[in-house]
Amino acid sequence: MIAQISTAPPGAVDKAGKGEPLLSIRGLRVGFRRAGDQFEAVRGIDLEVAKGEVVGIVGESGSGKSVGMLAALGLTSKNAVVTGSVRFN
């Protein structure tokens, strides 16, 4: 079983370095309004991606992978309630 595959040259990703992450997501939560109620689809995503780093998002069907990443990109539907912070450098 392969646990991790990287095509980046050695030393290309330096998370311990002093630079800012390329992408930082903190406390991202996504809910959807329906019939006067709110359904919570994503409960708190925290993620940092360094320059040159490749990240895969995995999880069970319906776990919020697509909704979370769409929210990070600002592409959710009008009935979505998104909180948290997304910073792209």
Low-confidence ranges of the chain (pLDDT < 70): 1-18
Tokens of 88: 């792209």
Confidence at residue 10, expressed as pLDDT on a 0 to 100 scale: 55
Domain boundaries, the chain: 23-88
Confidence at residue 19, expressed as pLDDT on a 0 to 100 scale: 75
- For the beta sheet containing 23-34, the strands, ordered from the edge strand earlier in sequence to the opposite edge, are 37-49, 23-34, 80-88
Burial of 73 (C-beta count, 10 Å sphere; 0-12/13-18/19+) = exposed
Contact (CB, 8 A) for 48 and 23: yes
**Residue 80 pairs with which residues in a beta bridge?**
32
Confidence at residue 88, expressed as pLDDT on a 0 to 100 scale: 93
Burial of 25 (C-beta count, 10 Å sphere; 0-12/13-18/19+) = buried
